[in-house]
Each structure stands twice: as structure tokens, then as C-alpha cells.
Structure 1
Amino acid sequence: MESFLSSVCTPINLQFIDVAYHVKVERAAAEEKIVLKGITGQARPGELLAVLGPTGSGKSTLLSILGGRLSGHHLGTVLADGRPPCRAVRRRTGFVAQDDVLHPQLTVRETLVFCAMLRLPTSTPAAAKTGAAEAVIAELGLGACADTMVGNGVSGGERKRVSIGHEMLVNPSLLILDEPTSGLDSTAAVRLVSTISALARKGRTVVMSVHQPSSRLYRTFDSLLLLAEGSCVYHGPGGDALEYFASLGFAPGLHVNPTDFMVDLANGFAQEEYSDSAAADVGSVKQLLISSYNRVLAPKVKAAINVADHAGDGAHQQQEPPSFTSWTYQFRTLLLRSLKQRRHETFTSLRIFQVIAAAVVVGAMWWRLAPLGVEDRKGLLFIVPIFWGYFASLNAVFEFPQERPVLARERASGMYALSSYFMSRMVGDLPMQLALPTAFTVIVYLMAGLNPAPSAFALTLAVILSYVLVAEGLGLAAGAVMIVDAKRASTLVTVIMLAYIISGGFYVQHVPGFMVWAKYTSFTYYCYRLLIAVQYSGHLKRLLPSEDMDGEASIGMCIIALLAMFFGYRLLAFLALRHIRT
């Protein structure tokens, strides 16, 4: 397989002019914090632009704006080959966030193979997509951990390389990396940046933020942009930076790392070892750097951008992107990925023990009840919905909040449509969510000696499984609506389930008039009546108040209500997911 570093791509000249960003301070909504103050610069094909600066200088915000990943509005202009980035450019853009956002339940190889399947064009054969993933594994030195789960046994440096490989698979023309060397030792960092630099040499535009790189890393930077509190204090060739600061009266000592020196300056630190004059205060050093940049370098940077703008004038923007994957292909691939993920979540030894132990306890308490123990049997038929209502809804409430970072990143990179992701999760959940309730029902049914007719068992199982899916839908909807705060969502689900259980018809049969609405929105209410109808067919009027259930019509109403809730909760969850900011 040919090395990915030898792949040539369509070049993109990235320009950003007077980019500014303000955020409102939460404690005082009328007050704004200025994160970026009119940053101007460019990143050219074949070069590595390093964005350097101390913590809080605005590096990550600038890169998020350049990569089109920032939620909210910003001031200024970002251009790709002289034009605003279009969909074709965004598809040719790779963005590696500072935090490694990956599926912990997949292995390194599975992560990259599924990425290749979803991000490479439909015209690429499946074998070639798998080969591309293997080539990236070899290129980034991930062979030793290729079959290790990302969330269990993969180091921080290896996860960072997996994140980079995720973007390398699309052979990006523009690659943006937010502090890719964080958490790596110096040798691993040099190796990683050497790989990134080699990517740039093949015509890619690479922008990378770094916090405090080693002197060996500094020598790999073609261009440098130094930020201080949201303002630019240097932008130009990396090799000219020290000479420029020396012209201002600041020079590093003999054994000082150049990047340490520049970060110190950006922090306003200029003691005698850096300055020809006496020590200056922090504020005056920053003001000197900012004013000198605006006077000396900013006009040159803007002039270079204007020249490049006229020279390129969007030459590459007209190229059509390749044909990407269809909805059905996305659905099949995401379904397979979902099944691989969920096999580790659903069938854990602890969860299996929890369900089987509960089934044995319930079966023992209602062991072989006499045929006339109607009230006791009604208690059994109600305890089953109580258990599975809480179990299914509370497990489901955390699904979307846990996947929100991955979903946001993958949607931002255009890997798939939200509808294909959602449908694959719903279909993939079915065998996983129904296996344990089936085992529970079989154990309880046999131990309690319920209606022995095969049809009664089949219908009882169908009602319980339907109830589990509806309860799961409630959890999914709550988790999607309150996706940024899963604890609040779980609290909401607990309160709703309590109301549904109280009004379910076992504890209170004559619900007060002002609470009737709770009864008719409770899927526990409908499930309980269906279970009684199955177990005591023909005796409903004797077992339940006549005004509460009227023969077959009430059974039909229960079925329709459960179907409406099954689809309604999931529709609500889908609409809520559409508002996740990418």
C-alpha cells in the first residue's frame, strides 16, 4: 500500500482577515470578553503554520474559526483561495481537536476502518478503504495497539495519533490541529510533527497550535503566528522571529529554548536576561509588542494576502468534490459500528447479573401461585413494568449525552447524515435492548406459573418488549433534549416514571380528576392493562373497574397509545439532536 505521505492533493491557500471573537460573561450578560482582536494572516500550501501563545491567548478559538468548527458568530473574514469556504472545501478540511473524541468501545483498527468506510467516496472499493486504514495505522506507528480498544489500553499519545489518522484518511488539502503534541514526550512529539510536516510538503496547508514546543520542534515550523491575549505580536517565517524580537530590544540567552523565550514575551515577561534595558512591567512589554507588530509587520502581512488573493482568485474552488456515500450505505455502516459498540455496553457481566438476579428474586416471591391468587398476580404484572420502566429509561438517558462530542465532530466533518446515524442507533438497539428483557420474562413466567398457554406467553413477552422500547424512548428523548446535562435528564426521567407508576392503575384505581391527564400519558397504565388482558382474557370487567376499561376497544386504545409513544419519543429525540452545534 502506497504511503499516505506520498498522496498529492488539491492545494488550498487559507487567509484570515481581521478575525475577532467576543463572548458574553455568564455572570454579567451585558459584559463581553474579547477573545480575539482582529487577527490577520495566511497559511500557504506546502507549509506548516504554527500558532504559538500562552494559555488563554486564543489559539484554540482561532483554529476553531479557521476550521469552521466554532459555534456562534465571529467578526472578520476567512477565505480559501480568495473565496469563503464552500462545502467542497469543508470536505477537504481535516480538523483535529485538542481533546481526543473517539468511540472508546472500538479498537484502533475498527475506528479507522469505519472512518474510511464513511468518509471515502462511494467509488472507492471496500478493500481499498480497508487498505487505506491499514496504511494510516502503519504510517502513524499504531500497529502495536491496532487491536486494542481505544478506551482501554491505548495511551494518550496513541489516541492523539488515532485522531490525526481519522483526518488523514480523507487526504485533506487543509489540515488543522489543535495542540496535537500535548501529553506527548519530546521524542513522540518530534516524530508526530515530522509526520505532519511531511504531509505539508506534499502540497497540504497545515495549521497547528502548540503551547510550548521544544527547540527541535521549532525548527520544523515554516511560519509562525504568536498570540498574546488575543492580539497578534508576530506573524512571519519561523526563522525570522528571533531577529525581529532582537530588533525590538529582546533577545534570548544562550541556552534558552526560542519558544520558551517567545511565550515569556507574550506573557509580558522580559527580565534582564531577555532585554537590553532594565526589567519592564508586564503591561508595557505587551503594549510594545502589539504596537510594534501593528506598525512594522501587519502592513506586510496584509500586502502579502492581497497579492496572493489576486494571484489565486479561487482557482481551485470550482473543482467538484468526489461522490460521497449514500444514505443506505451510511446506514449499513453505522449499524454495523453500533452493534460492535453496544456489544460491550449491553452484555456486561454486571448488567447480566443485575437482570438475572432480579428475575430470580421476583420469580421466587411469586413462586407457583395458586390459580385463584388474582390480586397477587396483578401485583406481579405491575412489578414487571416498574422494573423495566426504570431500568430501560435510565440506561437510555445517558446514550446521546455520552456520544454528543463524537456526534458533533463527525457531523461537522460531513461523515454522514443525522438521519442515517439516528436510524442506525434505533435499529441497532433492538437486539441489544430486547435480549435481557426476554431472559427476564422467561425466568419470571416459568417460576411464577403464569398462564401456560403458548399464545399467552407470546403476547405477554410482546407487551413487555414493547413497553421496554417505549420506556427507552422516554430516556432517549430526555437525554437528547437535555444533552449537555445528563444528570438533570436522569432526574427528570425519574420524576416522570414515578408519576407514571403511581397513575398506572395498581396503587390508585380512581385517579383524581385534576390528575387524569397523568394516567392517560402513562405507558405503564397501558402496559398493565394489556398484561391483565392477556393473562385473564374474558374477565377484564371483573378484574378492572368497568368505567376504566371496556373490552376489546380499550385493548385497541392501549396498543395505539403505546405505538404513538414509541414513535413520538423517538421523533422528539431526533428533533432535539438536530440542534446539536457542530
Structure 2
Amino acid sequence: MSDNPCFSYFNGCGNILDPDEDEEQIVPTLNLLNINYDIKQYVGPWWKGACFRKRQNKTVLSNINVQFKSGEMTAILGSSGSGKTSLLDVISSRYTGKLYGKVYFNNYLCTADIIKQYAAYVMQADRLLHNLTVRETLKYSGILRLPGAYNDKEINAEVNRVIADMGLKHVADSKIGGAVIRGISGGERRRVTIAIQLLQNPKILLLDEPTTGLDSCTTRHLVSSLSDIAHNGKIVIMTIHQPRSDVFKLFDNIGLLSMGEIVYFGKANQMVEYFGELGYPCPTYANPLDHYVDLASIDRRDRDLEVRTFAKVENLIMTYTNSIIKREMVQSIEKETMRPTTRRTILHLDRPHPPIVFTVMFCLIRRMMVNLRRDRSIYLSRILLLTMYVPFILAFLGRLKDNQESIQDRMGLLYQSTNVPMFVAVLVPVAVFPPIRDLYYRECRDGLYSTTTFVLSYIIHIIPFHAVASLIFCLIVYWVTGLYPSWDRFGIYYADVFAMHFSGEIMTIGIMGVFYSPQVSQSVASLVISATTLFSSGFIRTLPDILQIFQWLSWGVVMKYGAEIVVANEFHNLNISCEANKKVDKNKYNMIPD
């Protein structure tokens, strides 16, 4: 027995009894014991000093003792700021502050690895790619989420299972859709998001306000499906902001929070009776959930109301703290966490290996390509948008000459050749990248892959488009305008344009990782390109003549090297004819002829 690595890992967590002990009588439970959760937050608005603002501690959750059992669905209620989402963050090990107390699952202290293996977190927002079908969305998620030992047949079987569980058969081959592309309904998108998390067949399912934005009929069907999932042997915990009366009876347990503390936690069918005994009966035709959420909320419309409601809520919290319901729950938690553990209840950490990095990258690249290929306008823009600028260059410059008058024209063409590709590269990712970025945020938090893997996959995905777009641009511009007639020089020119075009998109997605708004990101990217062109390219002003600080900054800007390469590539050994003693129109050049 000591040879099992899991026994040494959990050494001290409990005594190991007879391995033949009947485990069927033990119901898997999730226990939160004496949970207190503090965070640090800045005081005042961000423009009053950003990093120099004072930070103060804020208690988000206080004195939380709750128990969730397998086969039951629990709804966490409360007004905004009551701590509902923070409670889910604590359970899922996604908290960022200081946590006091313990979270146990099956009598073992939960860590991030255990939660990652046995729990799934459904976030409030649906982060899906609009051009994929429901089946494709689940298939690609299955490749990322299921162990690497799964083959295509087994992944397809899991996809079909969750499609059936969530009632998605009738839309399995329909597009997800979005604001422009019409697809499945909002309730069906919610079901897809939940189905993605069910692919791993988790023991614990956490949902952050899954009914937000849904109508009453869709809400009931969704909550009913979640109830069926719970009764099939899972722990389902969901927060809900505006509960409807028709879903009240579908919940097994209700948890009511206010100011980070518990006002009530117990059976749903006992909540009305509990508050009725406290002198707060539910009106005959009122929704019990809405009524008691309002009861446990603080009215801040004026000072007197705030004081009265604050005192009322404190009294409700104190009453629950001293109640028999709370005492019995704490005793049950303590009994459960002190229970000896059998061989079969040990949570094995020797899980099957996840997919290898190359499998993950191939899946990400293929998913992005399928999503892009089905959006014809964006797909063609990636290839032809840069080429659309070519007619303006040709109409303005025409065919370059070989005399001294062509030097300025050549410099202008080279300036456009390095500047335009970067500006054009800003336009496409502003439309394409946001949904891919949002999906990355969710999957990265789920631990499916790293930021490096995502960035490399995106780079590999865009390289062919930049290569083709730059080639079309260069073939027309280079040979029609009459730059240095050499295929070797053309290759260098093409490589330079490709590098500028590629660098423009990489810079843009980097900025979009900082600024969430696509419009702000586009403005910032355009501003950066314009600024770097001014002080680093040498086209506007020679580098030795600019300020020293700009000379230093120019060494870290790609525009400097791109401009130097393309100018040297064009003018090296270029024969320019100069006509001696040529009379020049002084009205045209304001010069005195020889």
C-alpha cells in the first residue's frame, strides 16, 4: 500500500481502512470550513495616481461553512456585491486574495490540481467562435480537454453524449452565430458553453449566473437540464441574480448571501418556513427567491434606509449563525472531514496525460482556419486588402525614371513600401482577433494551454496569409514601377514588405492584449506606427539630426531596420543618369539655371 504514490501524497489526511469496505454508502461531498476571503483594492479612481494609490483590505467572504452533496443542485443567491462569484472563485481555486479556512472534496484538502481534474467552471459570458457549428465547437474543445489517450472515435462519442445531455441534437450542425451571422439562440449558446465543460465528465459543476439574459421558458429548460445532471450523481452549484418563481422547486438547496456572509443555507423547501418563523413570511403571490433576496439586501438610497436595512441584515446573519441549521451543518462538515478514507475514495493524481503541445497547436490552428474560412469577407481581406492600395501607388508614381529626378520618387515609394503594410496589418486583426482572444482567456484559465502555445499557434496561422498578400503586392509594385531590375533584389524587397506586414499584426494583437476595446487598440496601434515612422525610419528626417533619446529608441524599432534594408537594396549600384548643364524651370523648382 505504501508503494502507491497517492498514499504518500495524502499522508496524514486520514486513516486507510479495509480496502473491501463498502464505499457505495458514502456520498461524495464538497465541504467549505471556516472560509474567510480577503482582497486588496485601490482607494479612489485610477486617474488619481494609478500605482501610487493606497490599497486597503476588503473582506469578501466571512465565516462561510457550507456543504454540497453529490446528486444535489444548489443555487447561490444574493444582491450584487454579496460575494456569490467570489464563493465560486474560492471553490475553483481561482481566487487572487488571501484565503483562510479549508475546502475539502471527498475528505481531501482541495488544491488547484484537484479542482482542475474534478471540477468545471462555466463562466457567465459565452465565449465561442461564431462561424463554427455546435458539433465542431465541442469537437475541438474535446481535443483540448480530454486526455491525450483519447482517439477520434472516443472524442466523438463524448461529444455525442454531451449533445444529448444538453438537448442540442436539433442544432448540432448549426453555426453558433453572432451579432451579424444568424445562428443558434441565446439559450442554446448557454447550453453549448455548459456542454463544453461537461466533456470532461466533472464531479463538480460550477456555473456563474447561467440564466442571465434568458427568457423564462429558456431559463426553466436550462435549470431543469442542470437539475437532471445533478441528480445523475454530480455536485451542481450555480449563482443566480434574478431567480424566477418557476425554477424555485427545481433547486435542492438554497444559499443566500449578503455582505459576504450567509443569511440562509439549507433545503429549498424549508426556506419559506425558516424565514416565516423569524417573522418574515413570504406574501402569497410573491416569488420567494426575489422576496428574500430583497430582504437580505441593503437599501442605500438614503442614510436612514441604509442604517435600518444594515441592522436588519446583521440580525439575519446573527440569527442564522446561532440557528440549528447552521449547527447541524458544521457538525456534518466536521464529521465528514474527520471520516477515515478508504482506498477507493482516494483522489488519484496520476491522471492520463493531457494532449501534447503539438496536438494542441494543430487543434488551435485548424480551429482558427475553419472559423476564418467561413467568413468570406475577412478571408479575402487578409489576402487582398494590401493589394487594394496598389492602384493608388501606380496612379501617383507611374513608371520610375533613371535620372536624378527619380530619386525623390523612389524614396517616396520605399517609404510607402514599409509604412503601408504595417497600417494595413492593423485593420484585419481588429475584426478577427477579439473572439479568438476571449476564447483564449477562458481556455487558458481552464489550464488547457499556455499563452506561448496560443501565440505560436496564431502566428503560424497568419503567416501564409501575410506571405500571399505581400507577394501579390510586391509583384505588381516592384516590376510595374521599375525598381532595380533584379530577382535577387526583388526577393529582399519582398522579405522586407512581408516583415513589415507581419510585424504590424503582431504589434496590434499585443496592444489588443492590453486594451480590451478594438477601437482603442486600433487607435493606439496607428499612433505607434506613425510615431515610430517619424523618429526611426529616416524618411522624414535623417537619424543623426533627431534628438538623442529618439536615436536610442530607434534601435528597438523594426521600422528602422526595414527602412535601411529597403533603401540599401534599391540604391546600391543603381545607375542614375545626370544631364549636365540642364536648364531647369525656375518657376517649377525656384532655382537659377546654369
Return closer, same or farther for 1:538/1:116 CA change in 2, 3 Å cut-off.
same
Kept after mapping to 2: 8 A contact 1:364/1:447? no
Change (3 A) 1:261 1:510: closer
Instruction: Quote the offset at 1:495 in angstroms.
Output: 4.3
Which of 336-345 and 245-254 deviates more?
A: 336-345
Instruction: Tell me the distance in 2 between the aligned counterparts of 1:11 and 1:415.
Output: 29
- Aligned twin of 1:300: 328
What residue number does 2:160 align with?
A: 134
Q: Percent identity of the aligned residues?
A: 27
Segment of structure 1 superposing worse, 373-382 or 167-176: 373-382
Offset at residue 401 of structure 1 (A): 6.6
Give runs of aligned pairs for residues 143-542 of structure 1, distance below 5 A: 143-144=170-171, 146-151=173-178, 152-153=181-182, 154-267=184-297, 281-296=308-323, 297-311=325-339, 313=341, 315-318=345-348, 320-343=350-373, 344=375, 347-348=378-379, 354-372=385-403, 373-392=406-425, 403-480=436-513, 482-483=514-515, 493-502=525-534, 503-509=536-542, 511-512=544-545, 514=548, 515-539=550-574
Change (3 A) 1:501 1:214: closer
**TM-superposition CA deviations, 1:204-223 (whole Å, max 9, x none):** 11111122333332112112
Question: Letter of the aligned partner of 1:21 in structure 2?
Answer: Y
| Structure 1 length-normalised TM | 0.81
Distance (whole Å) between structure 1 residues aligned to residue 285 and residue 207 of structure 2: 29
Q: Tell me, in whole angstroms, the C-alpha distance in 2 between the residues paired with 1:325 and 1:244.
A: 50
Larger CA deviation: 163-172 vs 522-531: 522-531
SS in 2 for 1:251: coil
Residue 556 of structure 1 is matched in structure 2 by none
Aligned-pair distance for 1:176? 0.4
1:414 match: secondary structure: coil
Change (3 A) 1:472 1:351: closer
Cα deviation, residue 119, structure 1:
0.6
Measure the CA separation in 1 of the matches of 2:55 and 2:349. Answer: 45
Match of 2:126 among 84, 100, 118: 100
1:347 is paired with a residue whose SS is: helix
In structure 2, the CA distance between the partners of 1:379 and 1:424, relative to structure 1 (3 Å rule), is same
- Tell me, what secondary structure is at the counterpart of 1:182? coil
Q: In the alignment, is the contact (CA less than 8 A) between 1:95 and 1:177 conserved in 2?
A: yes
Amino acid at match of 1:131: A
Following superposition, the deviation at residue 351 of structure 1 comes to 6.4
Structure 1 counterpart of 2:43: 26
| Alpha-carbon distance in 1 for matches of 2:127, 2:36 | 27
Contact 1:50/1:209 (CA < 8 Å) preserved in 2? yes
Note if contact 2:92-2:115 (Cα within 8 Å) is conserved in structure 1: no
Structure 1 residue 74, shift from structure 2 partner: 3.1
More displaced stretch, 27-36 vs 214-223? 27-36
Q: 1: CA distance between counterparts of 2:414 and 2:402?
A: 14
Q: 1:354 to 1:489 in 2, by over 3 A?
A: closer
Does the residue aligned with 1:133 lie in a helix, a strand or coil?
Answer: helix
CA spacing shift, 1:60–1:522, aligned 2, 3 Å: closer
State the secondary structure of the residue aligned to 1:475: helix
1:126-181 deviation digits (Å, cap 9, x = unpaired) = 12212322332343233336431442323321221111011011111110011112
Q: Tell me the distance in 2 between the aligned counterparts of 1:348 and 1:425.
A: 15
Q: Give the letter aligned to residue 333 of structure 2.
A: I
Matched residue, 2:48: none
Change in CA separation of 1:474 and 1:250 when aligned onto 2, cut-off 3 Å: closer
Contact 1:106 1:149 in 2 (8 A): yes
After superposition, the C-alpha distances for 1:235-264 in whole angstroms (9 at most, x for unaligned) are: 111111122112212211222222123223
For 1:338 and 1:346, locate their aligned partners in 2 and report how far apart those are by CA, in whole Å. Answer: 15
- Count of aligned pairs: 524
CA 1:85 to 1:224, structure 2 compared with 1: closer, same or farther past 3 Å? same
Aligned counterpart in structure 2 of residue 121 of structure 1, from 141, 147, 157: 147
Aligned-partner Cα distance in 1 for 2:201–2:186:
24
The equivalent residue for 1:551 is none
Task: Give the distance between the partners of 1:170 and 1:45, measured in 2 at CA.
Answer: 17
The match for 2:585 is: none
1:88 Cα deviation after fit: 3.7
Looking at CA atoms only, which structure, 1 or 2, has the larger radius of gyration? Answer: 2
The one-letter code matched in structure 2 to 1:309 is T
Q: Secondary structure at the match of 2:560?
A: helix
Distance 1:317 1:268, change over 3 A: same
- Give the partner amino acid of 2:192: V
Q: Please give the secondary structure, in 1, of the residue aligned with 2:386.
A: helix
SS at match of 1:40: strand
Code of the residue aligned with 1:99 in structure 2: it is: A
Aligned to 1:112: 138
Offset of residue 304 of structure 1 = 1.1
The worse-fitting range, judged by mean Cα deviation, of 168-177 and 413-422 is 413-422
Deviation larger for 324-333 or 408-417: 408-417
Q: Considering only aligned residues, what root-mean-square deviation do their CA atoms show, in Å?
A: 3.1
Structure 2 gap ranges (5+): 1-23, 45-52, 300-306, 579-594
CA distance in 2, matches of 1:329, 1:237: 46
What's the offset of the Cα at 1:438?
2.3
Query: How far apart in 1 are the matches of 2:290 and 2:394?
Result: 69
SS of 2:81's equivalent in the other structure is coil
Residues 396 and 479 of structure 1 are in contact (CA less than 8 Å); yes or no, is this contact kept in structure 2?
no
Taking a change above 3 Å as real, the CA distance of residues 259 and 478 of structure 1, as seen in their structure-2 partners, is closer
Distance (Å, rounded) in 2 between the aligned partners of 1:370 and 1:245:
91
CA distance in 2, matches of 1:399, 1:103: 10
Task: For 2:258 and 2:557, locate their aligned partners in 1 and report how far apart those are by CA, in whole Å.
Answer: 57
Give, in angstroms, the shift of residue 371 of structure 1: 3.1
> How far did 1:357 drift?
2.9
Deviation at 1:234, TM superposition (A): 0.9
Shift of 1:350: 6.0
Q: CA deviation at 1:15?
A: 1.3
Which residue identity does 2:389 align to in structure 1? A
Which deviations, in whole Å up to 9, do the C-alpha atoms of 1:171-196 show, x marking residues without a partner? 11110011112222222222211211
Counterparts of 2:316 and 2:103, CA distance in 1? 25
Residue pair 2:382, 2:469 contacting (<8 A) in 1 also: no
- 2:110 pairs, out of 58, 78, 85, with 85
For structure 1, the residue ranges without an aligned partner over 5 or more in a row are 1-7, 270-279, 544-582
Cα distance, 1:419 vs. partner? Answer: 3.0
CA distance in 2, matches of 1:540, 1:511: 27
Closer, same or farther in 2 for the Cα pair 1:542/1:490, shift >3 Å? farther
Whether the 8 Å CA contact 1:108–1:150 is kept in 2: the answer is no
Give a deviation string over 1:39-91, Cα, whole Å, max 9, x none. Answer: 21011111111112223322112112212223333333222223332314322
TM-score, normalised on structure 2? 0.80
TM superposition shift of 1:408: 2.8
Instruction: Name the SS of the counterpart of 1:505 in structure 2.
Output: coil
**Residue 539 to residue 308, structure 1, CA distance change in 2 (3 Å):** same
Mapping 1:48-63, distance limit 5 Å: 48-63=73-88
Q: Answer yes or no: is the 8 Å Cα contact 1:11–1:204 preserved in 2.
A: no
> How far apart are the structure 2 equivalents of 1:450 and 1:466?
19
Residue 357 of structure 2 aligns to which amino acid in structure 1?
Answer: W
AA partner of residue 530 (structure 2): L
Letter paired with 1:371: D
